Amino acid sequence: MVAKKSWREKLCNSRVLPRVVEINEKMSKRWGKGTMVVPAPKEVDEIMKQVPKGKLIRVNEIRSKLAEKHGVAICCPITT
The pLDDT tens digits for 16-70 are 889 999 999 988 899 899 999 999 999 999 999 999 999 999 999 999 999 999 9
Q: What pLDDT was estimated at residue 10?
A: 78
Cβ atoms of 79 and 38 closer than 8 Å: yes
Q: Look at residue 55 in the predicted model and tell me its pLDDT.
A: 97
The pLDDT score that the predictor gives to residue 1 is: 73
Q: What are the sequence ranges of the domains in the chain?
A: 7-75
Quick: pLDDT tens for 3-19.
888 888 877 777 888 99
Q: What is the pTM of this model?
A: 0.82
